[in-house]
Structures are given as C-alpha cells and as structure tokens.
Structure 1
Amino acid sequence: MQFKILSLLGLAAHAAAQTSNNTLNSTLSSRPELSNLTSLLNTNSALVAALENASNVTILAPSNEAFAALDMSSLTDSSLVDALLQYHVLNGTYTAAQITDMSTFVPTLLNNKSYSNITGGQVVECIKVGDETVFYSGLLQNSTVTTADVNFTGGVMHIVDRVLTLPVDVLDTASAAGLSSFHGAVNATDLSNVANYTPDLTIFAPNNEAFRSVYDALQNLSSNDLTNIISYHVVNGSSPHYSSTLQSGTMLQTILGQNLAITIENGTVFVNAARVITPNVLVANGVVHIIDNVLNPSNTEVANSTQASGAPAYTATASASEDPFTSGQSAPSTTIGSIPTSGSAGPTSSSRSTAGAHMPMKTGTISYGALLGAGAAVLGGLI
C-alpha cells in the first residue's frame, strides 16, 4: 500500500517536473558541485542518451565531496561504473516531501545480473529521519540529501552526500554484519550457492549470540539436519520481503517447505518467536533481516502480545563460550553501517558522514573476494 501511494504521488511530481525546461545536461552543467558525476556520466554515452530521453525518474546525484571519499582511479571497470550509475537512478519521480518516516523500497535501473538478482531491479530504502531525507543502500550505508528537488525535464534530482554502495552477496554481507556463525553454518551445508545466487531471497539471519545460546543443540547435528535448520531461515518468492511488505499474520514459505509466521507487536517484527533486531540489510539478491534467536522447524511457536524480545525455539542448553561455526573464517574487511537497536521500520541513524566511503563492488556472478584480489579495495573511515 505504501508503495502504491508513493507511486500515485510520483505521478503528480512527474507532472510538476515536466514544467521544467532544463535538460539533464543543462542541469548538471549549472551545478559545479556535480562536476565529478558529470565526468563519470560522460564515460557512458548510452546511459546519458537514455537519461536525456527518459521521463519519470529520480536521480540521486553524489556531490564532489561524496566522490572525494572514493578513490576515483579505482573506477576502471566500465561495467562496474555502469552498474554504479544505474543504481543512482530510481524508477519514478519522488520529491523529498513524498518520503516519510516509514521505510519505502524503490526499484532502480540496476538490473545487470552480475550485480543484482532482484526482479524489477535492485532497490534503495527511502526514509525521512528527523528533518533529513535519507537513502540506504548496500551494507546499510546512508546517503543524506543535501539539496532536494532539482527539477529537470526527465524528473527530479536530489544531491546526496555519499555515493551509494552496491549491495554485495549474502555471505559477504553476513561477514560485514558480524554474523560469522551464520556465515559458517551456511558454509557447513550445501547452501552457499543457494544463499548467494538465488533471486528474490529473504533471509532471517540469527546473530552470533543466538547461535551461542543453542550451541549444545546444534553441535552434534548431522549435515542434513543443519541444512534443514538453515533452510528454515530462507524464503524464496516473487520478490524480497522488505519490512514495508511484512504484515502481522502473514505466513512465509521457506525453501524447506515449512512456513514462518510473521507477528508485529507495537511496531516490533517477530518471525515465529524470534525478534527482528536489524531489518532491511540489502543484498545483491534480496534482503537480510537479523534476528535474535535461531529458528527451529520443529518448534513453530509464535510471539505473544506481551513479548518484548525473542523467545528461544530450542530446549534450554548450555551456551558456548565462543561463537560456533567460525573456525577458519578470515576477519571481515569491512562492516555494515549503523544498526538500529529496536525492531523499527528501518535503520535509525542517519548521521551525515564526511569520512571515507565503501568502494562499489561487483556482486552476483563475480565474487567480492575476487574483486579485492584484483585491487578493488574498500576504503576506511566507515560509519
């Protein structure tokens, strides 16, 4: 419903944008703070031509200061540059006034399967935080609007303070999010390729504390039993289930074939009896919601109306002193952005960052690790 309302408002914004006589080229030329973006666009004449003739789009335009946080000399892969630029173009015309304090997920022009495997295009999360309009991209990185509603003939442009981060695959995102036990458990099964390359996935990923708390119940499982448990955390549908599409009472079928029950109590989302503690971590092929308990296909108890935190789905066991399934894992080379502390509609912190930014990375069919080996380094100074 939220997206439909936003789409209707977008029609009105599109009509308003058509009153502008400024082409995209003339708009960019009149904005010296966008000279780096203009130079990058000029490397892709086909995209520039398409945008000049486009209608009803929203462009998120990183300022020169935003690009200064990247090593521009590393942007030598033309397909990577194309994907990065496409990810900054939203389908639909959305003014800053249309974006509310409820998270909305808007498709972009990024459809290249080497970087995104989501039907309809990779998305950005749009939300109003206080008086600021914020767009969240991969690894929960936030880009804040500094100049809103610059109209041009094809739609509207917002100047932002940070280059968007292309979402990476599930396992690299899990490492960046500190979900080393989930990462290791997936690797211990035959589900790595399923997690990374199946389109339109929704994954409910337990944090390390959740795995520690049920270590005794998991340590002696057969490989098949562990595969079933991890499969019970993965939903494959016609599109990912972002927080804005989750409704209380919804049943989601997992790739195990059994259902998960969604309950929403006072704005907090529960899956069965586990609480979502970090929603909407965008990945190359869907979305990850971090939860506070490991789900159990043999225990489908749901949250009750008085529940404030997740309830264990396994019989009480001794907790592990160390994070299970993490043996042999290398330390992550990056981290995700600010993490909400409650089951909110989206990330809760939008502090404007002037430090370094993530280097955009190829995902999908080309691994994150391979890119790092080829010299696509992730810069420091992350939030």
Structure 2
Amino acid sequence: MKIKNQILSFVTILAVALMTFSCTNDEPKEVTPLKSIVDIAKADPANFSILIDALKKTGLEATLSSSGSYTVFAPTNAAFTAAGVTSASINALSATVPADATKISDLRLLLQNHVITLGTKADDLLAAGYTRTFAFYKNSATATSGANLSLFVNKVGTDVVINGGVANGGAKVTTANIEASNGFIHVVDAIISLPTLVSHIKANPALSSLLTVATSAPQASVLASLTAATGASAITVYAPNNDAFTSAATYLTGKTETQITNILKYHLENGNKTASSATSWTSSTATADVSVTTLFSPNKFTILLGTVKIKDGVVGTTNANIKITNIQGTNGVIQMLDRVLQPTTL
C-alpha cells in the first residue's frame, strides 16, 4: 500500500512538472489592441473622410475617441455626397459667423442622430426594436437639450433597416458589427434624417393600418395636423397598432369618413406628453389619474394612476394599454396602443 501511494505521488508530481514546463514554453501571443471608433474611420478615408471632417467640425470627434461605449451608424462618403454634403462645404463653415454657427449646430444634431449611448451589435438592436440616439427633441429653435429621439431598427427581407430605410429618411446597414475599443460601428448607406411623427409611423410595420387610414384622402386634415406639428407646437399620438385595428373592425364598420376623422382626432393630444416609465404614465409622486384632452373636443380619456392603462369614453372600462411608450420624434411623441379608443360621442 505504501509503495502504491509513493507511485501515485510520483505520477502526480511528474504530471504537474510536465504541465508547468509546457506552459512556460508557450510562445507569448501578441494581442493587437482595438482602435477607437474615430481611429477606425480615420484609417479608411476612402469611405469615411467626410464623416471625420463632420465630427471634427461639430466637436464630436473627442467624444467618439473617448473610452466610453457607443454605437455609431456611419454614413459613407457616398452617403454624404448624395445628400449634398462634402468635406469642402463642412470645412468652409466658421463658428464665428452666426449663420454658419447655426449650420454647425444643425450638423451636430444630425450626427448625434447616428449615435447611441451603448456599444450594441446589430442582432441586439433588432431585438430591442427602438433605441434612443444622442439627438434630442427641441421645443424651441434655441433648445440645447430635450428628450432623446427614437431610432427604429428592423429587418426588411435580409436587410437591417434604420427608421424605414432610405425612402423614409432612414438607411440600410451595409456592414455590421465593426468592433472598436469603445463600441461598434455599423456602416450605413444614407444619412439618417431626424425622425418626425409621420416617418416614425411609416417606419414601423406594426403601425401600417394606422398609416393606411391616416394617409387616405378623406383624412387629409388629420395628416395635416401631424405634419404641421413642430417642436414648439408638438402633438402626442396615441397610436393603435395593427392588432388594435383588427379587433376594432366591427366598431369601425359603417362609420362615415367624418366619424373616422373624429376617432383619429380622439387619439391626438396637443403637446409632447411622455410616460414616466414603460409601466407607469405618472411619476411616483403623482396622486391622481391623468385626464387627456384630445383634439376631438370635448372628448377626453383617462390614463390610470401608476399604470399605462387607458379608460376611454366608456365609463368604468379599461379599454387599452400603452404597449410601447415614448417613441420620440422632432415634432411630437408616439404612444403605441393595443386598442382603438372609442369616444363617447361621434
């Protein structure tokens, strides 16, 4: 027994020695450090020289060179050129000229619409659907901050599409998941415009029924209200999704175009009204339900305290839930509903 234990001990010592020898003789592997987002773009001037000039002019170069975590949707030179933006036009701007200072500020806001605050791969963006960019809602021409604008990512066929694609002021991802030391770059084929209420509705396939109704000729006044909204005179859209319209088919059947107009206006409210969170319209300090004054005066509906549940014209009945909160555009915000709201009178 003693000899057996000695043999086992010798075998164990020999195995450890061999492992140690093997490890100490491994050739050291050289790890190439990742470059920053800006450095990656600088290394490819054929595609990103205009983007770099724009980042320099607007002061965003330092941000995207820093050690934070970012995702950049990077328009190529071809994308900038197609929009009439060149390095020459950017470099000619002077911050000391008032008109140029405004253009630089506008360019900065536009570039901020291509940046989100966390390095994220394309698949994770698709799973999330909506995310928020560095760009913000301006409630006045001189505003320097506000609610961050929303950005919608989905697949159309095999393409990863931003805000509905080029035809809707968005873009298509042509190269995804370029890893940087401070996040990810997704190359896009167009400049991503600041989203409006209408472009947000067009971008999301789940709102196609609302889009069809709102853009029909008899509803021109409703569409005009949406497109006329501005940062200073924003509109909140309580937007029923496609399933909501399917469920409301019986209710909507036989309604006149004027009645449909009234129903749509019952889903609109003046102002940029946002939920406190994804699960509560009101803040934690609120003590009462919220009464919503709609554009179909004098009809109102109620958002119940501490929830995202809506009680419409049918007294005592909770008829809808806000499924997605605070889809922010430049001229207002969208709250996506799972039901078509029904005013008391038409």
TM-score (norm. length: structure 1): 0.49
Select the residue among 113, 126, 147 that pairs with 1:87: 113
* Pairing partner for 1:55 from 49, 56, 68: 68
* Secondary structure of 2:63's aligned partner: helix
Cα distance between partner residues in 2 of 1:83 and 1:98: 25
Per-residue Cα deviation, 1:268-300 (whole angstroms, up to 9, x for no partner): xxx969xx9xxx98632323769997x53117x
DSSP 3-state at the match of 1:33: helix
Amino acid corresponding to residue 221 of structure 2 in structure 1 = G
| Residue 193 of structure 1, CA deviation | 7.1
1:151 aligns with 2:193: no
Equivalent pair of 2:197/2:333 in contact (CA under 8 Å): no
Q: Deviations over 1:189-225 (max 9, x none)?
A: xx96799426xx333389xxx8995235589xxxxxx
Matched-pair contact (CA < 8 Å) for 1:137–1:282? no
Query: How many Å separate the matches in 1 of 2:33 and 2:181?
Result: 6
The residue aligned with 1:257 is 301
Q: Secondary structure of 1:122's partner?
A: strand
Structure 1 equivalent of residue 131 of structure 2: 106
Could you tell me which amino acid in structure 2 is paired with residue 104 of structure 1? G
Residue pair 1:240, 1:287 contacting (<8 A) in 2 also: no
Identity of aligned residues (%): 21
Q: Which residue of 2 aligns with 1:204?
A: 239
Q: CA deviation at 1:141?
A: 3.8
In 1, Cα distance between equivalents of 2:277 and 2:169 = 19
Confirm whether residue 78 of structure 1 aligns to residue 125 of structure 2.
no
Matched, 1:69 2:82: yes
- Which of the pair has the greater relative contact order for Cα pairs under 8 Å at 6+ separation? 1
User: Using the alignment, how far apart are the partners of 1:22 and 1:261 within structure 2?
Assistant: 47
**Superposed counterparts of 1:1-383, under 5 Å:** 20-31=33-44, 32-44=46-58, 46-72=59-85, 77-100=103-126, 102=127, 104-111=129-136, 113=138, 114=140, 120-136=147-163, 140-168=168-196, 178=215, 182=219, 184-185=221-222, 196-197=233-234, 201-204=236-239, 213-215=255-257, 217=259, 230-234=265-269, 236-238=273-275, 254-255=292-293, 256-258=300-302, 283-284=329-330, 285-287=332-334, 295-298=341-344
Q: Give, in angstroms, the shift of residue 167 of structure 1.
A: 1.5
Give the deviation of 1:90 after TM superposition. 0.6
For 1:173 and 1:96, the matched residues in 2 are separated by: 22
The DSSP-based 3-state class of the residue aligned with 2:71 is strand
Identify, as 1 or 2, the structure richer in helix.
2
Q: Post-superposition shift, 1:252? A: 9.6
CA contact (8 A) 1:118 1:286 kept: no
Mapped to 2, the partners of 1:37 and 1:159 lie a distance apart of 11
Stretches of structure 1 that go unaligned for 5 or more consecutive residues are 1-18, 220-225, 242-250, 263-270, 300-313, 315-383
Q: Alpha carbons of 1:155 and 1:80: their partners in 2 closer, same or farther (altered >3 Å)?
A: same
Cα separation, 2, equivalents of 1:261 and 1:94 = 31
Deviation for aligned residue 1:145? 1.4
Q: Relative to structure 2, which stretch is displaced further, 152-161 or 23-32?
A: 23-32
> Where does the alignment leave 5 or more consecutive residues of structure 2 unmatched?
1-31, 91-99, 203-210, 242-251, 279-288, 294-299, 311-317
1:173·1:283 contact (CA, 8 Å) conserved in 2? no
Question: Separation in 1 of the partners of 2:336 and 2:168?
Answer: 12
Instruction: Read off the aligned partner of 2:108 and give its amino acid letter.
Output: D
Structure 1 residues 25 and 57, CA, compared in 2 at 3 Å: closer, same or farther? Answer: closer
AA in 1 matched with 2:105: S
